[in-house]
Chain A
């Protein structure tokens, strides 16, 4: 950032809500099917069709709102009128001046709190493919095909206040928001696939000032990297304009692969969407009981999970890794079952970037960690057993016939997670007696007298020679940590 300036960013995030059906019709809300198959008269805007609000979409919106500390308020749907071929009714039904969620906040990991202005429900449009133009672009196209499968998909638009001060913070905000959306099951929130779309309102101001200058809205940000780069580019562009005695104009700009933003439209006429209350729907007034039900059904939020992981000794980055891998329940469960928390966290971070890790039974993981901390397995052996536990968990899951799942879920997981002691025995991992290890260490010292002299003289790094020799002798099954301790004992004796 150029000296004397600071960046001001507000983000508008659209997410597709993970409902079975669309916002106002019973058509499946699903992608990848034959075009125009997941449609009803409502999705196509056929004359005479009427919308009926999807209760589940409202509940997901409320859950996100509660997770973002918003007020849940009575709301009204409006019609946003404009002509576009992939808009079946030539208006979009959207909450306008009375959104369901308002005035909340999100704490970005690392400290800052970003205000949430609102989160509102709206319907998505269809998808237009232009024929004949390069790469389906409108330029040079000879015709267009419209797929209305997406038309009417429920969207939640989450609008932050302009409280974000940097590209990194914007990126962290989106990551945290995504974690929340995943945790409450509101959306799969995939930026690359478009189920989560981020638009950034970017401006700059003299450092320390509280003013809000002209902002530009940047679209087409389909990765966190594009988001960060676009913010940096756009902020620099604004600063250069101001420093040249000019000023940016308020407009929508398009982030492109060339690493720049481009003005989307030349005409500066404001759109007039002629909003008015949607007369085909009644006001949405969630009562306290409904809100309480949604609140009661909410899972633990990522920030709270991370705090508990931190209490288990996980550093913030490690806690994030554990949450991202979906391992928090396994880790916290294992610790609760008596496993050493540091070893458990270390396994989760270092050894569990594996399919099936999230299927592990917490008690099974706890048993494994106990075997290791009690010296019955070396760290290397423990890792090998862990890998095998994950592999067997995946196999067992695929072997379970569809629909025959144990309703309790955890019971079947327990059945999958074979006892680590049994697996260790199968793999031939016998706990090595201490005197046996001592003998091997002494043999290694005897075989490398020069190295031993160096080690005794304080050259710690030659310890690797002895550890390596012991490992070779045990085919990797010795506990490296124990070997190091024995070497220290011999030296200091």
Chain B
């Protein structure tokens, strides 16, 4: 596999043709995506035209940008002009947006070449990509297992070498958890760091777009390209975009790293090495987080201590309520965001005797069970008489989470936790919704607070499957987060390559 950095550098220098790079990746997709099903749509023709344009630019002496000729896969809930954007739902099957999402514009303006649209849990609701209306995506490390979700297609595409970069969206962990399960890097930036314009909304106050890459440097490169204020998104932050890549080599000496007690209960108890020690009152320790996963987190903390960081344990009590609060607020927003799919203007329409029946039949046929469940849950949570008890109370938990993180960041620069409570699981293994929802236990708190967090691979767990460590930082703290992630990447034991890559590569030696 070739990194985005290497491709862009070669293409800009005229050492490689963007068209050749593209054909390599299209060849891998052709060979393996039948097994993986990372893509809903492969935009080969469009990509060939885009790559040819990049090559022409280079020939004319123009610089196509920092992602010159880098193939990129977009989660199929990011609007792409004239290219089907389905959200993996029957409701939007075949719908072609008349406009590009801001991030799509930013990536292509930087020279990236869209190679396709990736599978997801329908409307990004799920943690396994099993809830896609078009069939599940498989984990390139083990085709009998899920890639995680909801951005499972984007994670699998990068893990399988179908594209060096992919974009996903993270509402409760939908970038970080599949990155963890697929053994790659995934970043959820600070809420507002990246424009949401053109991201089909699931839960607007949580949704955030971010990159997937095989390594931290590529992820940082893509993050820099998509970050920045966008007047089309009122929640976008008017802050300058730092040089994220410069943060990678800074070293962790003097950085204070806190391991979140509530999320690392099993395994060893504490790995403090003379740091600030345990901060805050000890909260409830969540169970259901596998020991092989927490053990990797402690090893990661040790590695950071060895590299010169000050490591301690920290309590963030509100994280134990995160899941409950999230599963009230997110469905509430979703129930409203998904109301527009009524058959009137676009997407699926099932005719009825009158408008109301048309709406009802359309929604019945167009939405899958998980989406319907969440719409009902959210509608209930907002209903008169229940609002205060559910939505209102959940918002108070959100405030509490914000407060507890602020307290933790008074003592620490970044925090560590598992990304996912477990390694990649088998299809159907978590069919019970509550079991599935618990996949998001460690990732949801950052969506509640709006802070940045990322998953970086750190060794393997049960059955030789990848484990991701989550690095959390305060709002707009992507730089220290990336510094720590880069340090972890340097210290991490090498991951076995996905078995797919052992299959003869048609482009090898070409």
Chain B: which residue is nearest A278 at the CB level? Answer: B204
Binds B, one of A48-56, A201-209, A214-222: A48-56
B382 A48 Cβ-Cβ under 8 A: no
Q: Which residues of A contact B359 (CB under 8 A)?
A: 83
Binds B, one of A3-11, A39-47, A253-261, A413-421: A39-47
Instruction: Scan residues 276-299 of chain A and give those whose CB is less than 8 A from a CB of chain B.
Output: 276, 279-282
B197 A49 Cβ-Cβ under 8 A: yes
CA distance A152 to B150 in the complex (A): 32
Could you pull out 23 A-B pairs where Cβ atoms are within 8 angstroms? Answer: A45-B345, A46-B97, A47-B87, A47-B95, A47-B201, A48-B77, A48-B79, A48-B101, A50-B233, A51-B234, A52-B233, A81-B382, A83-B359, A85-B342, A89-B339, A274-B336, A274-B379, A274-B383, A276-B336, A276-B391, A280-B204, A282-B234, A282-B235
B382 A274 Cβ-Cβ under 8 A: yes
Shortest distance in angstroms between A267's beta carbon and chain B's nearest beta carbon?
Answer: 14
Contact of A276 among B85, B95, B99, B332 (CB under 8 A): B332
Q: Which residues of A contact B78 (CB under 8 A)?
A: 48
Does A184 touch B at the CB level, under 8 Å? no
Instruction: Scan residues 205-251 of chain B and give those whose CB is less than 8 A from a CB of chain A.
Output: 205, 231-235
Shortest distance in angstroms between A88's beta carbon and chain B's nearest beta carbon?
Answer: 7
Q: Which residues of A contact B335 (CB under 8 A)?
A: 81, 274
Q: Which residues of A contact B509 (CB under 8 A)?
A: none
The number of chain B residues touching the other chain, given as a range, is 35 or more
Known interface pairs A83-B359, A281-B234, A282-B234; A46-B346 also in contact (CB < 8 Å): yes
Q: Which residues of A contact B391 (CB under 8 A)?
A: 276
Does B507 touch A at the CB level, under 8 Å? no
Chain B: which residue is nearest A272 at the CB level? Answer: B384
B232 A52 Cβ-Cβ under 8 A: yes
B235 A47 Cβ-Cβ under 8 A: no
Q: Which residues of A contact B200 (CB under 8 A)?
A: 47-48
Shortest distance in angstroms between B118's beta carbon and chain A's nearest beta carbon?
Answer: 16
CA distance A243 to B100 in the complex (A): 65
Does B198 touch A at the CB level, under 8 Å? yes
A90 B197 Cβ-Cβ under 8 A: no
Q: Which of A48, A146, A270 has the most CB of B within 10 A?
A: A48
Shortest distance in angstroms between A90's beta carbon and chain B's nearest beta carbon?
Answer: 4
Q: Which residues of A contact B384 (CB under 8 A)?
A: 270, 272, 274
Does A22 touch B at the CB level, under 8 Å? no
Q: Which residues of B contact A45 (CB under 8 A)?
A: 340, 345
Chain A: which residue is nearest B79 at the CB level? Answer: A48
Known interface pairs A44-B346, A88-B340; 16 further A-B residue pairs with C-beta atoms within 8 A, sorted by A's residue number: A46-B98, A47-B95, A47-B340, A47-B346, A48-B197, A50-B196, A50-B232, A85-B344, A85-B355, A89-B339, A90-B339, A91-B336, A274-B387, A280-B201, A280-B234, A282-B234
CA distance A388 to B234 in the complex (A): 55
Chain B: which residue is nearest A41 at the CB level? Answer: B99
User: When A and B form their complex, which 8 residue pairs have the shortest distance between CB atoms, in order from nearest?
Assistant: A90-B339, A279-B205, A274-B382, A279-B204, A47-B200, A48-B79, A48-B198, A45-B340
Q: Which residues of A contact B379 (CB under 8 A)?
A: 274
Does A79 touch B at the CB level, under 8 Å? yes
Does B333 touch A at the CB level, under 8 Å? yes
Does B92 touch A at the CB level, under 8 Å? yes
Known interface pairs A41-B98, A282-B235; A47-B79 also in contact (CB < 8 Å): yes
Chain B: which residue is nearest A282 at the CB level? Answer: B234
Does A144 touch B at the CB level, under 8 Å? yes
Q: Which residues of B contact A146 (CB under 8 A)?
A: 344
Chain B: which residue is nearest A80 at the CB level? Answer: B336
CA distance A282 to B205 in the complex (A): 11
Shortest distance in angstroms between B439's beta carbon and chain A's nearest beta carbon?
Answer: 24
Contact of A91 among B97, B339, B345 (CB under 8 A): B339
Q: What is the total number of residues of chain A having a CB less than 8 Å from a CB of chain B?
A: 30
Does B199 touch A at the CB level, under 8 Å? yes
Shortest distance in angstroms between A22's beta carbon and chain B's nearest beta carbon?
Answer: 14
Q: Which residues of B contact A41 (CB under 8 A)?
A: 97-99
CA distance A121 to B359 in the complex (A): 29
Instruction: Scan residues 259-274 of chain A and give those whose CB is less than 8 A from a CB of chain B.
Output: 270, 272, 274
CA distance A46 to B199 in the complex (A): 11
Q: Which residues of A contact B95 (CB under 8 A)?
A: 47
Q: Which residues of B contact A79 (CB under 8 A)?
A: 336
**How does the 8 Å CB contact mask read for A287-314 relative to B, with 1 for contact and 0 for none?**
0000000000000000000000000000
Shortest distance in angstroms between A32's beta carbon and chain B's nearest beta carbon?
Answer: 22
Shortest distance in angstroms between A375's beta carbon and chain B's nearest beta carbon?
Answer: 66
Chain B: which residue is nearest A79 at the CB level? Answer: B336
**How does the 8 Å CB contact mask read for A64-83 relative to B, with 1 for contact and 0 for none?**
00000000000000010101
Instruction: Scan residues 314-370 of chain B and give those whose CB is less than 8 A from a CB of chain A.
Output: 332-333, 335-336, 339-340, 342, 344-346, 355-356, 359
A44 B235 Cβ-Cβ under 8 A: no
Chain A: which residue is nearest B391 at the CB level? Answer: A276
Q: Which residues of B contact A89 (CB under 8 A)?
A: 339-340
**How does the 8 Å CB contact mask read for B137-172 relative to A, with 1 for contact and 0 for none?**
000000000000000000000000000000000000
B97 A48 Cβ-Cβ under 8 A: yes
Shortest distance in angstroms between B237's beta carbon and chain A's nearest beta carbon?
Answer: 10
Shortest distance in angstroms between A106's beta carbon and chain B's nearest beta carbon?
Answer: 32
A272 B339 Cβ-Cβ under 8 A: no
Q: Which residues of B contact A90 (CB under 8 A)?
A: 339-340, 342
Chain B: which residue is nearest A82 at the CB level? Answer: B339
Q: Which of A51, A52, A90, A279 has the most CB of B within 10 A?
A: A279
B233 A83 Cβ-Cβ under 8 A: no
B339 A48 Cβ-Cβ under 8 A: no
A48 B234 Cβ-Cβ under 8 A: no
